[in-house]
Amino acid sequence: MSQYEPAAIPPESNVPPISLTVVVPCLNEAENIEPAYREIVTELDCYELQVLFVDDGSTDGTLELIKALTVRDPRVSYLSLSRNFGLEGAFSAGYRYARHPWVLHLDADLQFPPAESHRLLSRAAQGFDAVFGLRVDRRDRWIRRAGSALNEFLARRLLAIEIPTGATTFRLVRTDLARRIVDLRLGTPYFLATVPRLTNAWTTVPTAHRPRARGTAKVSVRRLARHAVELYVSFSERPIRIAGFLCLLAAAVAVVGAATGGTAGATLQRLALAGGLVALAAIARYLLHIGRGQPGLPLFLVREANVPVRAEDWLGPVQYREDQVLSEPAR
């Protein structure tokens, strides 16, 4: 285990003048709501603070616990989505409706200690638009660690996609930048890959990581793999270039196989067919990605909230409309 000095609450004289919205996506995190709230407000009370919980279709009482917090503490806000839209939809909703100029993303399981946020905030005060946390002594299962390493190798080395090395969902971002990314309405808002396309004022900071103490992880390896494929086809042209090359190669092999005849020719033709099918699969994936870029399903819809919500994002009861639905984004 490496030696790591946990972040400490800075003296009042060293606190950056930052107004902060902490966005906390939640899916069946009833066991974590109260501990997460207590730790967040304890560690970040030195900043002007909003804690924005985004309930992503929970069924275990998570929303009721969040509502109880809003009664106790006016700094707590919430958005309840109309169904489970996934992590991308949940954090996109939080980023769009953050009240303060800076957004800090913290997952409800608090594997990233809120105290580590001071490291990100201190770096942001140096002029950065986004600061990403890097896990030190990562405390996830080996298959998650191996999958992340493989995904990063494929994305950065083979496909030349610019993503911050080792970066995580633990991040601090200017709200106007985060909201702009959400409003791009990408089929898959792969945040780590989108930020470097919009600004070069980003950096990374080593932060502590700890095991999940309560509840169960909600992201499966299968879902992570699907998300990785979306990254490859959304942010790199290399796969489709390789597919095009395979098509040409398959055609050449097929011609040689037809001219050769016999067993050798049949083998070459089978190889050509295999290469062509692989290329076709890659092309089909790109066509699917292009199709998702057309107007379609929204990233999220809100059923209930205690913050103003755009009419286009609202799918709640009519009686909430007068005081909770706006035609413009919350500021």
Name which of 80, 26, 67 is nearest 315 in CA terms: 80
Write down the pLDDT at residue 158. 74
**Alpha helix segments (H runs only) across 125-237:** 142-153, 175-183, 191-198, 221-235
Single pTM value for the model: 0.76
- Please determine, for residue 294, whether its predicted confidence score (pLDDT) is greater than 60: no
Task: Band the pLDDT of 253: cuts 50, 70, 90.
Answer: low
Output 156 or 110, whichever has higher pLDDT: 110
Return all residues near 3 (Cβ < 8 A) that are at least 6 apart.
Answer: none
- 297 SS3 class: coil
Q: How far apart are the first and last CA of the chain?
A: 44
